Amino acid sequence: MRRGLLAAIALAAAAALSVGLFFGLRAPQGVRVGPAPSVEILRTPPPRVELFEPVELALNVSADYSNPFDPSDINVTAVLKGPARTIAVPAFYYQDYERQLVAGEERLVPVGKPHWRVRFTPTEVGEHELYVEVRDRWGNAARSRVVKFEVVPSRRPGFVRVDREGRYFVFDNGSSTFFVGLNACWSGSRGTYDYDEWFRAFADHGVNLVRIWMAPWRFGIEWRQLGRYDLAEAWRLDYVIRLAERNNIYVILCLMNHGQLSTQVNPQWSENPYNSARGGPLSRPEEFWTSERARQLFMNRLRYIVARWGYSTHILAWELWNEVDLTDNYRLVRQHVARWHREMASYLKKIDPYGHLVTTSFADPNLDPEIWSLREIDFITIHRYGPEGFEDVAGVLHGLVSRALARYGKPALVTEYGVDWRWWGEPLYYKDREGVGLHDGLWASIMAGSPATGMHWWWDNYVYPLGLLHHFKAIAEFLRGVQPAGSRLRPARVEVVPLAPELANLTLYPSLGWARPLENYFVVRLDGVVEGDVAQIPAFIQGRAHPELRNNPTFRATFPSGGRVAVRVNSVSVAGAVLAIYVDGRLALSADLPDRDGKNDAFSNEYGTEFAVDIPPGEHEVRVDNLGNDWYTIDYVRLEGAVYSAARARVLCLSNGTMALLWIKNSERTWRAALEGRAPPPLSRFMVRVPGLEDGLYEVKLYDTRTGEVVEVRSVEVRGGVAELHFDRLEDDLAVRMRRVG
């Protein structure tokens, strides 16, 4: 009777103590509550492991815990000791699955029971020791036995870093490469079976970089229940990461998308487990940036992500957010957002033993200095969509990358682009069946000095099904074997020299969207050089309604035999507008532009009409203005008879003094011209002068930019540091790779 009473008292005391600890009370010092934990390594590493070879261990963990995803409840960590470095690698809770494809839909069937695993990748050669430690909620700890193995040299390049000069990416072994990529953010109903097909095709066409989202509908591990992770979606991401490794494809893994904290843009806030309506800690999306509870929950998720996927050398970077500026009330809380980015990026770098790169992204390509200037953010990402101000894809993306590099001194990648952002109706990208916009974005980004091609967005309904992967293969072939960091390639200015004094037209495409132009005066020379920042040519020609944005453009050009200036109007505000063209300060044309379609769509092609004025011979100023109430948008301004024919050649160059890469493009060959069936005249008889080269003999290879095949091989002698390359005719574009022989 007495023994039973003592037992009852003991049970009651233990229960009271457990309740107290649940609500934040600590066990008295020296009191151990719950069973002692234990940890056992079920499968040891092989005796010899290659450098940068991933190793995965299954663990048998016994402990008192309720949430395996909360490190304050149960913390399992592997400690890896090498000759010069000791790292701590968190373990993670795991469930194995078997996949099936049933009626076009992927289904996962659990295999076995959930258990703990640890993944690590050795980063130095020599003898290593490993043990695993477990610590429970009460502070009780246990340690596994120590296992030993040797790490031997390998040809694996290692993890991706930023090079010393802050321009390109470099691997741990010192090698570097250009990355050729596109988005592949989620799959359809076929799940991982989609990636089987995509990654095989990508690898066959030279693609070695993709971007993947941990979105609520695919790979999102914390959407169904806050603080507890979806092991099926985690298994899917396991599969895709390993598939990427086998196909030598690197991954930018995006951890959050804007819709999760938005009630306006792709809204998903009502479904978010952080929402108080679903039992979460936040009553409004913008509280995410300042809530201590949200902060801790997200840090727990980061720890799990690092534990499960941080081992992979093929994770190029963690991207904290997709288009964070589309979350609710961003402009009101942007300082909090910047602080959050600094804190979370710092935390990632603290817990990630492999030091993966960290970035984020914005919908607005006008760069955000508060976040991009953070030391914790390793590289810049750029998103740009049309159709507004994006007819000249090459010019716009080249300018965005160049300005980002100059301003921030960090690598700059175009991680999303497309000629039309819309996915409903008949989007213009889908009408670009040749992939002209896709093609131009790939080449222009690289030639601006980016470590990667532009990464096109519409992968699953455009690039792959329309068979446009040949564009990636072509640029991959052209870049094969070039090590940008080791070669120290830099953008270089070249000169285009007309060899026939034929006058031609020059089309200037707007790049600026809904913003006030910082410049409004542009001087066009006969050789095609435009003095002034052409990125400030606006798509919106503003009227009286927006004086704060109104800074409409003026062009000064010489027309040796006279000519015309044509402005193509796309669409008009519902309030209407009045187009005005002034020549030398005098009104030459005025046209009422009433609303026709009842829409406020800036790019519905409501008009699609050219308005033109004749220009007498000589030098003249032409101002494009708006005398009406509200805006109208333009597709282009064309100056007819104001440049030599060769001026339409856009030549972008990377050089290091003994090697040069060039992309020569007929600037009139745009995706819009392809859509409308227009065939701009070819370029004829011109020379490209490439300065800054060492004297000597150079091998010059000309590449077809659609196939990657070498179409011609030349030799050129460089004298006085300048190479002169002659061309008789160019329809569209070509690529040139030249290197000093010997």
- Pick the residue with more confidence: 92 or 648? 92
In this prediction, residue 535 has a pLDDT band, given cuts at 50, 70 and 90, of confident
For residue 197, what pLDDT is reported? 98
For residue 77, what pLDDT is reported? 98
For residue 181, what pLDDT is reported? 98
In this prediction, residue 9 has a pLDDT band, given cuts at 50, 70 and 90, of very low
In 352-427, which ranges are continuous DSSP H helix? 369-372, 393-408
| For residue 5, pLDDT beyond 60 | no
Determine which of 10-24, 114-128, 214-228, 327-341 has the lowest per-residue pLDDT on average. Answer: 10-24
| For residue 217, pLDDT beyond 60 | yes
Determine which of 551-565, 579-593, 598-612 has the lowest per-residue pLDDT on average. Answer: 598-612
Place of tokens 């079976």: 193
For residue 33, what pLDDT is reported? 64
Check residue 137 and report its DSSP letter: T
Q: Please tell me whether residues 82 and 176 are part of one structural domain.
A: no
Q: Please tell me whether residues 238 and 337 are part of one structural domain.
A: yes
Closest-CA residue to 630 (of 542, 699, 560): 542
Average pLDDT of the segment spanning 422-440: 93
Average pLDDT of the segment spanning 40-68: 96
- The Cα–Cα gap between 437 and 417 comes to 9
Average pLDDT of the segment spanning 659-674: 94
What would you report as the CA-atom Rg of the chain, rounded to the nearest whole angstrom? 30
Choosing from 590, 624, 646, the residue where a domain stops is 646
C-alpha distance from residue 673 to each of 13, 397, 516, 635 (Å):
81, 18, 28, 11
C-alpha distance from residue 476 to each of 178, 289, 612, 621, 706 (Å):
8, 41, 42, 44, 11
In this prediction, residue 27 has a pLDDT band, given cuts at 50, 70 and 90, of very low
Length of the chain in terms of residues written: 742
Question: CATH number for the domain including 717?
Answer: 2.60.40.1180
Closest-CA residue to 203 (of 158, 237, 244): 244
Average pLDDT of the segment spanning 644-659: 94
Choosing from 444, 461, 488, the residue where a domain stops is 488
Q: Please tell me whether residues 140 and 126 are part of one structural domain.
A: yes
CB 108 within 8 A of CB 235: yes
Q: Please tell me whether residues 147 and 198 are part of one structural domain.
A: no
Determine which of 54-58, 100-104, 356-360, 420-424 has the lowest per-residue pLDDT on average. Answer: 420-424
| Residue 458, C-beta contacts closer than 8 angstroms, at least 6 positions apart | 418, 429, 430
Closest-CA residue to 343 (of 355, 333, 358, 326): 358
Amino acid at 661: L
- The Cα–Cα gap between 635 and 336 comes to 38
Highest mean pLDDT among 28-37, 62-71, 425-434: 62-71
CB 645 within 8 A of CB 582: no
State pLDDT tens for residues 316-343. Answer: 999 999 999 999 999 999 999 999 999 9
State pLDDT tens for residues 287-311. Answer: 999 999 999 999 999 999 999 999 9
Q: Please tell me whether residues 596 and 464 are part of one structural domain.
A: no
Q: Is residue 517 part of a domain?
A: yes
| For residue 11, pLDDT beyond 50 | no
Average pLDDT of the segment spanning 534-544: 95
Q: Is residue 15 part of a domain?
A: no
Determine which of 2-11, 207-216, 614-623 has the lowest per-residue pLDDT on average. Answer: 2-11
CA angle 531, 619, 615 (to 5 degrees): 115
Q: Please tell me whether residues 637 and 658 are part of one structural domain.
A: no
Q: Is residue 391 part of a domain?
A: yes
Closest-CA residue to 83 (of 150, 131, 159): 150
Q: Is residue 19 part of a domain?
A: no
Determine which of 2-6, 130-134, 597-601, 635-639 has the lowest per-residue pLDDT on average. Answer: 2-6
- End-to-end CA distance of the chain, in Å? 99
Average pLDDT of the segment spanning 430-452: 97
Q: Which two tokens stand for residue 93?
A: 């809770």
Task: Name the domain count of the chain.
Answer: 4
3-state per-residue secondary structure call for 68-130: CCCCCCEEEEEEEECCCCEEEEECEEEEEEEEEEECCEEEEEEEEEEEEEEEECCCCCEEEEE
- The Cα–Cα gap between 476 and 177 comes to 10
| Domain housing 678 | 651-740
In this prediction, residue 2 has a pLDDT band, given cuts at 50, 70 and 90, of very low
Question: CATH number for the domain including 109?
Answer: 2.60.40.10
Check residue 322 and report its DSSP letter: B
In this prediction, residue 32 has a pLDDT band, given cuts at 50, 70 and 90, of low
For residue 367, what pLDDT is reported? 67
For residue 18, what pLDDT is reported? 35
Q: Which two tokens stand for residue 12?
A: 């009651």
Q: Please tell me whether residues 168 and 146 are part of one structural domain.
A: no
Q: Please tell me whether residues 80 and 122 are part of one structural domain.
A: yes
| For residue 23, pLDDT beyond 50 | no
Q: Which two tokens stand for residue 712?
A: 């011609």
Choosing from 121, 152, 183, the residue where a domain stops is 152
For 25, phi then psi, to 5°, come to -80, 150
Question: CATH number for the domain including 602?
Answer: 2.60.120.260
Check residue 384 and report its DSSP letter: E
In 120-223, which ranges are continuous DSSP H helix? 192-204
State pLDDT tens for residues 140-164. Answer: 999 999 999 999 999 999 999 999 9
What is the β-pairing status of strands 147-152 and 696-703?
unpaired
- The Cα–Cα gap between 479 and 494 comes to 20
Average pLDDT of the segment spanning 496-520: 91
- The Cα–Cα gap between 195 and 218 comes to 12
Q: Please tell me whether residues 106 and 134 are part of one structural domain.
A: yes
Average pLDDT of the segment spanning 170-181: 98
Q: Is residue 317 part of a domain?
A: yes
Place of tokens 């069946």: 433
Q: Is residue 75 part of a domain?
A: yes
The helix-helix angle for 436-447 and 470-479 (nearest 10°) equals 20
Amino acid at 611: F
CA atoms within 13 A on the CB side of 609: 11
Place of tokens 């993709």: 210
Q: Please tell me whether residues 568 and 655 are part of one structural domain.
A: no
Q: Please tell me whether residues 641 and 657 are part of one structural domain.
A: no
What is the β-pairing status of strands 126-136 and 105-120?
unpaired
The overall average pLDDT reported for the chain is: 93
For residue 425, what pLDDT is reported? 84
> What percent of the chain has a predicted confidence (pLDDT) above 90?
88
In this prediction, residue 21 has a pLDDT band, given cuts at 50, 70 and 90, of very low
For residue 298, what pLDDT is reported? 98
| For residue 551, pLDDT beyond 60 | yes
Q: Is residue 13 part of a domain?
A: no
> What percent of the chain has a predicted confidence (pLDDT) above 70?
95
Q: Is residue 281 part of a domain?
A: yes
| For residue 487, pLDDT beyond 60 | yes
For residue 626, what pLDDT is reported? 98
Q: Please tell me whether residues 545 and 639 are part of one structural domain.
A: yes
Amino acid at 16: A
Max distance between CA atoms of the chain, in angstroms, equals 118
For 170, phi then psi, to 5°, come to -140, 145
